[in-house]
Structures are given as C-alpha cells and as structure tokens.
Chain A
Amino acid sequence: MIELSQIKKAFNQGQPNEYWALNGIDLRLEAGKVTAFRGPSGSGKTTLLTLVGCLSRPTSGRVRFKGQDISGLPERFLTEIRRQSFGFIFQQFNLIKGLTAIENVILPGFPSGRPRAELMAAAEQILEQLKLSHRRMAKVEWLSGGEQQRVAIARALINNPEVIIADEPTANLDTALSREFMAILEGFTADGKTVLLTSHDPLVVESNAVHRVIGMRDGCLVDA
C-alpha cells in the first residue's frame, strides 16, 4: 500500500546547522496491518511518519501511496490526500482549547464542505463508539487525559480514513489507559484500517495487536 524508496530528508538545507533526519529509507508497508516504529528519540521515526502521512515532502526519494507517486506533489494536493486517507493521533493530543469535544472532532471535515448536520451526526456516532457521548459538549480543557485522547481519536476518524497515524500515542497515558488504547487499536484492524505508530513503550510494541515492528536509528532502518 505504501512504498518508500531511497527516502532522504534534510532540515536547514545549505546552512551550517544542516541535518539529515532520514538517510535513504527503503520500505514497503502493507494494508490492514498495524506497524510500529521503534527507536530512540532523534532516530527519524516521527519524520518518517510525516512523510508517509503527507505532512511533508522528502528532500529526495520516492513515496508511493496506493501506486501513486506522491513525493513531488505540491502541498495543496498532499493536503487533499491527507484529508481523505489519513487520520492523525498526536502525542500531545493537539486539541483546540476553548472548543467543545464535538467541535474539535468535526474540524477536519470543514475544508471538505460537508454539511454541518452530517458532520455532527458522524461525530456523535464515533463518540458513542468511544463511550464519550456524555462529554461531547464539554470544553476539551475540562476533559481528563484519557478522554482527551479519545476525542483526538474521534477527530482522526471523522473523515473515515484508510490509514491511522499515531505518534507516541501512549506517552501521556497510564497503564490502564494504554491498554484501553490498544483495545481501540484492535478495533481499527477489525475495520480493515492500516495503522502506523511510533512508540518505545514495551506495552505497545510487544502487544499482540501490533503485527510488525520496525527499528530505527540515526535515520536508517535497523533490525528490531
């Protein structure tokens, strides 16, 4: 489903502090599976996820998504693919303060111009599945950490994406909540979604829910 070949990514190109976050990655990711990237911080795993998730473009190399070469696409078109095909769950949850839970959930649907009523109905349904309907009108800053994450998950699902990308999803959760998250993850697989995540939490990478673990160090793949 996703193929990477000879991917390199540089930051601050041409300046003294130039630095290559990725150094020639070749990788093939299968659909419908949960893949975890493991490695120390600074190993390039988050950068790799941003490339796969159409958040940025590689400095060189090719990214293919469902056969289409997306590495040379301008941001306008990457955004469109990202909106339709990817859902994101961030480490810091990245919810917008001051808005209610449900308002946060429907935000990714705005640029598509879906009618508000339709978006709200879809959001209610997802929150219901995540057992959070009773908190839907609460401002996100009043929610607990676990609830915030479930709002973030609901937001990732609102456009019904094929791929879910989660960056250190359990870093801010305790053990019980982390287990709960892994259960939700298994639900994604059951729905046929592809999941890509980064983690160095053993609870995640050693879980049965994860099909494949890929090790990374200094911008290169290593055996896990």
Chain B
Amino acid sequence: MLFQPAIIALLMAAAIAVLMLTAAAPFAVQVIRHWDIHSGAERQLDFERRTYLFSTLLTFVFVIQLAALLLFVFNADRLSAMFVGAMCAVGTLNVNDFGFPALISQIVVFFLAAMWLAINHVDTRAPDYPLVKIKYGLLILLLPVMALSFWLELQYFLGLKANVITSCCGSLFSGDAKTIAGEASGMEPKPALFLFYGALVLAIVSALWHSKKGIRRSGYLLAGTSAAAFVAAIIGVLSFISLYIYEHPHHHCPFCILKPEYDYQGYWLYLPLFVATAAGLGAGAMQPFARVASLCQIIPRASARLAGLAAGGYFLFALVATYFILASNLILIEH
C-alpha cells in the first residue's frame, strides 16, 4: 500500500461511515420490529426521536460520499506520477483490478443514499410516517453495499505498489481495446452524438412531463431515462466531449477534464449531471409508495419538484457540453 495522506483520509472516511451505519443497524432492526405510530408509550416516543438521528446520519454519509468521490478521482490523478505508464487517473485506477469497481461502487452508494434520502424526505412529511419500516429495511440493505464499497477501496489501495506497469489512458481508451471503457470511447462520434443528445432530450422531456403531471408512470419513466441519460452522458464524455475539450482526436480520458490544465471544466459537466441524476432517481424511488393514503398528496408534489431539478440539471449539462463542443477548435464531424 502507498502510505499517502489522501489514501489514509479516504479509507478513514469510508471506515467511519460503515462503522456508524453498523452501530445504527441494531436500532433500525428494533424500529422495524416494534414501531407502532399509534402508541404513546415511551418506547415509541424514543423510536421517533431516533429517526432524527438516522436522517442526520444518512445526510452526513451522503455528503461525505460526494466529497470522497471527488477526492478519490482527484487523488488517482495525482498518483499517476507513481506508476510507469500511467498518465492520469485512468492509469492509476487500472493498476489493479479493484480500481474501477471501487470507483463505480462509490458512485452507486452515492445514488442509493440519494434515493434513500428522497424516500425519507416524503415519509417525514406524512403525519403517520407510513414508510418507516420500509425505510429502515432499505437502510439495512444499504449497509452491505457500503461495506462492499469500502472493501473494494481497501483492496484497491492495498494493491497499489508504485512502479507497476499500467496502461495509460492513451492505450486503454484507444479504439481497439476490449474493455468496456474502450468500447465506449471507440464509438464513432456521430452515433455517440445522437445517443447523447437523444438520451438527454428524453430525460429532460420526461422530467418536464413528470414535473407537470406528477403521476406514477411518469415518475418511473423519469428514473429510467435518468439512469439512461447518466450512462449516455458518460459515453458522450468518453467518445467526443473530452476530445473537444482536449482538442485532440485520441484523448478520451473522462478525468483529465477535471484538472487545472483544462480549467476544471469537468466540474461544470459532472456537477449538474450528478445532481440531475440523483434527483431523477430520487423521484423514481418514491413512486412505489405514491398510493399510500397519507402520501398521495405529498409524493406527487415532492417528486415534481425533484423532476424540475432534474430537468434543470440535464439542461444545464447539455448546454455546457454543447458550449464546449462549439467553442472547441477541433472538428470531428464534417458539416
């Protein structure tokens, strides 16, 4: 393992988050077993007070996860100097088999936490807290995912040994590589462009529709199109947006755009994308409960608001991406 401050910080943060949730799990089980909203008994009052702790805890984990995600990528980029052949974060993540799984699992934890918080939000708006048991069941399900993410991260960092020959982003993302990332970047700019704008337009339209109607079907649709738009957006970044930013026809790296050399332009892309996807998924996550009596007023309103946020985020993302393409001196597609 590399003995390096940022790595220690990341492992510490992940470990503390897992420990906190583990310590909270027995209480979650108690809540699931003994919750009775109609009781005025002291135990029930105690449970209700405890729900505040869980909300605060999960919000904390959510914020930390976002910060850790940034630090993880940031640090991977910095570490590339340690590995022969690694020129940016991609090379560092490829040093062993755990790099990309660790990154992906962290993104997954981030979105799952967002969905939990969305459900939590609507539940606390209804006077009878109808989703408490479901909520804490989901919380217990979230725990193994977080533990897995921590384990992957640990394996990745433990397996880091300076000087291992790794492929840099230049070779990984060159078109003939057989990895998933390679295939994504190997996509022709033109179909990628269609896929990218198509998915985004679909997501924006379904988000707008949902923010108007707020019905169940549109909510599920929004969650689906959000997930699709996220994937399409990443493919888009890999196959042409990054090229336009770097003004280089073969540089496909999705991380270098976060670097100061490129004026941190990546943040303008990723921030709206992550916010919009989290909002879209959150709106979808609450739909299964839209028929619960006390929530049938609350969920449409809350999810419509989230849909508005998602539409705004995707629109901003598309706008920024388009701006980068138009402002670039690179020409990929002949007009």
How far apart are the CA atoms of A10 and B37 in the complex, in Å?
17
Known: A59-B41, A72-B38. A77 touches B127 (CB 8 A): yes
> Per a CB cutoff under 8 Å, which of A12, A14, A60 touches B40?
A60
Q: How far is the CB of A23 from chain B (nearest CB, A)?
A: 15
How far apart are the CA atoms of A76 and B125 in the complex, in Å?
9
Cβ-based interface call for B48 (8 A): yes
Cβ-based interface call for A73 (8 A): yes
Cβ-based interface call for B42 (8 A): yes
Cβ-based interface call for A87 (8 A): no
* Interface set, chain B 19-77, CB cutoff 8 A to A: 37-38, 40-43, 45, 48-49
* Interface set, chain B 204-250, CB cutoff 8 A to A: none
> Per a CB cutoff under 8 Å, which of B41, B42, B124, B127 touches A73?
B127
How far apart are the CA atoms of A14 and B49 in the complex, in Å?
19
How far apart are the CA atoms of A77 and B38 in the complex, in Å?
14
How far apart are the CA atoms of A60 and B37 in the complex, in Å?
12
The reply to whether A59 and B40 form a contact with Cβ atoms under 8 Å apart is yes
Known: A72-B37, A74-B48, A75-B48. A13 touches B42 (CB 8 A): yes
Q: List 27 A-B contacts (CB under 8 A).
A: A10-B42, A12-B42, A13-B41, A13-B42, A13-B43, A14-B42, A57-B40, A57-B45, A58-B40, A59-B40, A59-B41, A59-B42, A60-B40, A71-B40, A72-B37, A72-B38, A72-B40, A72-B128, A73-B127, A74-B37, A74-B48, A74-B127, A74-B129, A75-B48, A75-B49, A76-B124, A77-B127
Chain A, interface size category, equals: 10 to 19
Q: Which of A10, A58, A72: most chain B CB closer than 10 A? A: A72
B38: chain A residues at CB < 8 Å are 72
How far apart are the CA atoms of A73 and B41 in the complex, in Å?
13
| A70-84 interface code vs B (CB 8 A; 1 in, 0 out) | 011111110000000
Known contacts A75-B48, A77-B127; 8 additional CB pairs below 8 A are: A12-B42, A59-B40, A59-B42, A72-B38, A72-B40, A74-B48, A74-B127, A76-B124
Q: Which of B41, B127, B129: most chain A CB closer than 10 A? A: B127
| B106-142 interface code vs A (CB 8 A; 1 in, 0 out) | 0000000000000000001001110000000000000
Q: How far is the CB of B132 from chain A (nearest CB, A)?
A: 10
How far apart are the CA atoms of A180 and B14 in the complex, in Å?
62
* Interface set, chain B 173-229, CB cutoff 8 A to A: none
Which secondary structure characterizes the binding site on chain A?
loop
Q: How far is the CB of B128 from chain A (nearest CB, A)?
A: 8
How far apart are the CA atoms of A77 and B123 in the complex, in Å?
12
| A55-75 interface code vs B (CB 8 A; 1 in, 0 out) | 001111000000000011111
How far apart are the CA atoms of A10 and B128 in the complex, in Å?
22
How far apart are the CA atoms of A30 and B236 in the complex, in Å?
68
B40: chain A residues at CB < 8 Å are 57-60, 71-72
| A1-45 interface code vs B (CB 8 A; 1 in, 0 out) | 000000000101110000000000000000000000000000000
Q: How far is the CB of A85 from chain B (nearest CB, A)?
A: 15
How far apart are the CA atoms of A10 and B39 in the complex, in Å?
13
How far apart are the CA atoms of A59 and B43 in the complex, in Å?
11
Q: How far is the CB of A177 from chain B (nearest CB, A)?
A: 38
How far apart are the CA atoms of A75 and B42 in the complex, in Å?
13
B45: chain A residues at CB < 8 Å are 57
A14: chain B residues at CB < 8 Å are 42
How far apart are the CA atoms of A14 and B40 in the complex, in Å?
13
Which A-chain residue is minimally distant from B44 (CB atoms)? A57
Nearest 10 pairs of A and B residues by beta carbon: A59-B40, A13-B42, A57-B40, A77-B127, A72-B38, A58-B40, A74-B48, A73-B127, A60-B40, A74-B129
How far apart are the CA atoms of A75 and B50 in the complex, in Å?
12
Q: Which of B38, B41, B42, B124: most chain A CB closer than 10 A? A: B42
A13: chain B residues at CB < 8 Å are 41-43
B42: chain A residues at CB < 8 Å are 10, 12-14, 59
B48: chain A residues at CB < 8 Å are 74-75
How far apart are the CA atoms of A75 and B44 in the complex, in Å?
11
B127: chain A residues at CB < 8 Å are 73-74, 77
B124: chain A residues at CB < 8 Å are 76
A72: chain B residues at CB < 8 Å are 37-38, 40, 128
How far apart are the CA atoms of A57 and B38 in the complex, in Å?
11
Q: Which of A10, A14, A59: most chain B CB closer than 10 A? A: A59
How far apart are the CA atoms of A75 and B45 in the complex, in Å?
9
A74: chain B residues at CB < 8 Å are 37, 48, 127, 129
B129: chain A residues at CB < 8 Å are 74
Which B-chain residue is minimally distant from A73 (CB atoms)? B127
How far apart are the CA atoms of A19 and B77 in the complex, in Å?
64
Q: How far is the CB of B81 from chain A (nearest CB, A)?
A: 50
How far apart are the CA atoms of A75 and B124 in the complex, in Å?
11
Which B-chain residue is minimally distant from A58 (CB atoms)? B40
How far apart are the CA atoms of A71 and B41 in the complex, in Å?
12
A77: chain B residues at CB < 8 Å are 127
Q: How far is the CB of A211 from chain B (nearest CB, A)?
A: 30
A73: chain B residues at CB < 8 Å are 127
